Structures are given as C-alpha cells and as structure tokens.
Structure 1
C-alpha cells in the first residue's frame, strides 16, 4: 500500500537524541499514520521550551511529551509537532521502552492529532489508541497500550 506524500521539516533545538531520529525513520513512522498528504514540522525541544509552549497554549505549567498544532486537516495535513526530549526519555525509562520506540509512538500520536483524532472523551480515546496500536504494530513495535 502506498503512503501519502509528506513534506517534513525536522528540527533539533535539543540535539540529545538526534542520532535516534534519522530522517528516513521519522518519515517512515509519520507516513504510516498519515491518511492524506502532509506538510509537518517536527521540533525536538528541551524541557524549558516544552514547558513554555505547554503553558502558553494549554495553560499547563509543565513540559509534556508531544504538542500538536494542527492548521489544516485536508486536502493536506498541515501541522507542527513539538516533542520534548527530556520527557520522552523519562517516559521511556519509566515504561521500560527503547527511547527511539517511544519517539515513534509520540510521532504517530502527534500525526493522528494533526488529522483530528483526539482522546478527551472515552470513545475518542478508544478509537485513537486502537489506531495507534495498529500503526505501531505494523511498524514492528509493541502495542503501547497492551499490559506490560
């Protein structure tokens, strides 16, 4: 099955995990979640920038794993994903995951948000988590929602 085109800008404000995120892998992981062509910027940030953005745009005073700023769902998905390196690393360690595997999950999660998926309501969360599991399993990763 062919995947939609993706124009990707990959930025490392925090370069600590740059070696774990080669462009070809990031493209593969994100394209697996895309349902339409996309123009997406991914910015890997430190905790300070992640916290400032989460505070400014969500009124939450902490750094979170991924923030999605979606601007268009169709005919082209246009979005910015901001991923906090420190949070991804901490969560991977707490969950016993490889850091790159957790990045793959956060990228898939962010791309689904960019297309309008959400997890605020139980039925929406079930649909989004099911889609994430399906994509990550197809990519060769473990189901992030299976009991560990």
Structure 2
C-alpha cells in the first residue's frame, strides 16, 4: 500500500474538529479495503455553513449547507497522479446531525469521512441497489472502528 497523504484544512476555528490522528485512522480504514488503489492523497477541508452552502449550490444546485461534499480528482490525459480528490465537511451540519441522532460527534465525523471517500472512489447512492451496497460497506468499515451502524438511529 502507498503512503496516505491527507491535507487537513480548517477554514473555521472549531476545537471539536477531528484531529489528524483520527482522520488518518478513518482514511486508512477505507484505503485498507481498496489496497490496490494508487490514489491515496486527499484534502479534507472543514468549513462553515456559508462556504458549504455556496459549494452545494454551485456544484449540486442545492441552496443549503450540507454535511459532506466530495470532489473527485480527474487525472489529465496521459498523467497519473495519486490524488483521489477533496472532501468539504461542514462542522455545523455534522454537529447538528450528531446531536439530533444522539451519536458521539467523533462517530458521525468518521461516518462522514468514510462516506465522502467512498464517493471519491466512485460509490454512489442514487439508485436503491447502489445505496444498499454503499451503506453496507459503510457499516462494515465503521464496525472495524467499533462504531455502531450509523443507519440504525
């Protein structure tokens, strides 16, 4: 397996953001499932509701902040880079969801990071069968971290 490179960006001053150690553990969990994937560099950016809303509106046509946005990197023709893509995570939305779902914040963050990376790897949940496959993989990966099923609220 290649070495994992995480560019952790905090565009907000929030003491409850995941540490680099936590991010590395969660990201490694996903990459261990896909050991042959050469793309093991990514950016994880923590933002406020304003930035999340603007990105969600501009790229998804939804005028509201969201928990995690995934931006897969596409290699230019003929060039191979190890960059998987970018995750943009809105702390306020993740914290609110964790509170509403009575989950530890770190568990919900782990879920959002894993969910986002799976999107970067090409998984989706638009169709029911895709959603079931992706959610089952999320459950399995989170279980390796001793985090309960995030869909059993």
Above 0.5 in TM-score?
yes
State how many pairs are aligned: 144
- The whole-number CA distance in structure 1 between the counterparts of 2:81 and 2:90 is 29
Unpaired runs of at least 5, structure 2 = none
Superposed, 1:38-53 pairs within 5 Å as 38-53=40-55
TM-score between the two structures when normalised by the length of structure 1: 0.90
Instruction: Please state how far the C-alpha of 1:101 moved relative to its aligned partner.
Output: 1.0
Higher helix share goes to which structure? 1
- The whole-number CA distance in structure 2 between the counterparts of 1:4 and 1:132 is 22
For 1:53-84, what per-residue CA distance to the aligned partner results, in whole angstroms no more than 9, with x for missing partners?
00010110000000000014988451000000
2:105 is the alignment partner of 1:99: yes
2:107 is the alignment partner of 1:109: no
Task: Report the equivalent of 2:26.
Answer: 29
- The whole-number CA distance in structure 2 between the counterparts of 1:75 and 1:49 is 27
Task: Report the equivalent of 1:89.
Answer: 95
8 Å contact from structure 1 (residues 70, 80) kept in 2: yes
Unpaired runs of at least 5, structure 1 = none
2:4 is the alignment partner of 1:6: yes
Instruction: Please state how far the C-alpha of 1:131 moved relative to its aligned partner.
Output: 0.3
